[in-house]
A and B are shown apart, each in its own frame.
Chain A
C-alpha cells in the first residue's frame, strides 16, 4: 500500500500542477484509494499543496504531504492523467506499472518545442488582428512572441516570482513593440501590444479560480484569484512602463 499510495499522490500532484480543478484532484485520488481497498481516505488539496491520510485495508494509517509550487496549464496532461486515474480504478495495476505509465505522461512534455512556438505565434498574431490590428501588426506580434515562448520553455523556474517575471516580460514586449514601429515595421503600436498582452494574461487562471470558488473550494479559488489579479496588474504595469519610457509622460 505504501508504494501504491506514493503513486496515487504523484498522480494527484501532477494533475494539480497541470491546472486541473481541485475538486477533480480530490475525487480522483479518493477513488483510486477506494479501489485499492482503503477503509478511509481524507484528501485535502488546495492550490499550493496536497495533504492525504489513508487508513489502508490492513488497518495502518498513512499520511503524506506535498507542496505544489507552480501551476502551468497543460490540458493535454490533465486529460492523460484523468484517463490514467480511471484505468487505475478499473484495473488496479501494480505500483510499478502505474509508475511506468505516469512517467510516460510526464516525459511527454519533452516533445518538439516547435508546437509551443507555433502556439505563441498564432496566439499573439491572431489576437492582434482580432482586436482591430492589421496583418502587419499581427506579424510583428508573432515575432515578439518568439523570445517570450523561449523564456517560458527554458528560462522559467518554479521558484521565480510570477509578478516580477510577468512585469519584466510585459516591459520587454512593450519596448520591442515600440522599437519595431519606430524602425518602420507594423503600424499600430497599441494593436501589437494588445496581441502580446494576450500571451501572459491570466485569463484561464481567473476563470479557473472563480470556478473553484463556485464549486465550493473557496481557499483555492481565493488563492488563485489573488495571484491572477496580481499578475494582471504586473502585466499592465509592465506595458505602462514601456509606454512611459518610449513616449514620455502625456
Chain B
C-alpha cells in the first residue's frame, strides 16, 4: 500500500513536471497526488466505491488545490488537475480495449462504464469545489461592500 502511495505521488510529480510547474508549485502539486490518494483510501475504508469514491478523492484534491492557490497566489488549475492525476482512468481505458479485443462484451461494458464515470467524477469534484470557492469569495466581497 505504501508502494502505491509513493507511486501516486511520484506520478503527480511527473505530470507536474510535464505540465510546466516548477519550484515550490511543483512540490505542492505533487503532494496533491498524495492528498488525493489518501482521500481515496480513506473513502474506501468507509465503504465508498466506484463513482462515489473517485468523487470524494477529487473533492479532496480540488479543496487542497483551492487552498494552496490562495496561499501561493496562483490559479487553482495549476494544482487541481495534477493532484487528481492518480484518479485518471488509464487502467480502465486499457482494460476496456483489452476486453473488446477478446470479445468479452460483459467486461468491456463494465470497464467502459467505469472509465466514463471515473472521468465524470473527477470533473464534477473539481468544478463543484471551484464554484463553491467562487461564490464564497463573491459573497465576502458583497458583505464588505455592505459594511461600508
User: Which residue numbers of A lie inside 8 Å of B, CB to CB?
Assistant: 18-21, 24, 73-79, 82-83, 109, 115-116, 118-127, 129-131, 149, 190, 193-194, 197-198, 201, 203-204, 206-211, 214-215, 232, 235-237, 239-240, 243-244, 250
Contacts and interface: CB of A to CB of B under 8 A. Distances in A.
A210 B20 contact: no
A190 B8 contact: no
A79 B25 contact: yes
Per DSSP, are chain B's interface residues mostly helix, strand or loop, or mixed? helix
B40 to A, nearest CB: 12
Nearest to A152: B18
A208 B94 contact: no
A147 to B, nearest CB: 15
Nearest to A117: B17
Nearest to A128: B7
Contacts of B52: none
B79 to A, nearest CB: 8
**Size class of the B contact interface (CB-based, 8 Å):** 35 or more
Interface stretch (B43-51, B84-92, B140-148): B84-92
A243 B101 contact: yes
A193 B17 CA distance: 21
Interface of B: 3-4, 7-11, 13-22, 25, 29, 73-75, 77-78, 81-82, 84-86, 88-91, 93-94, 96-98, 100-102, 119-120, 122-124, 126-127, 130-131
Given A115-B17, A203-B88, A240-B101, A122 B11 contact: yes
A36 B86 CA distance: 43
A194 B19 contact: no
Contact of A116 (B13, B18, B81, B124): B18
Contacts of A209: 123
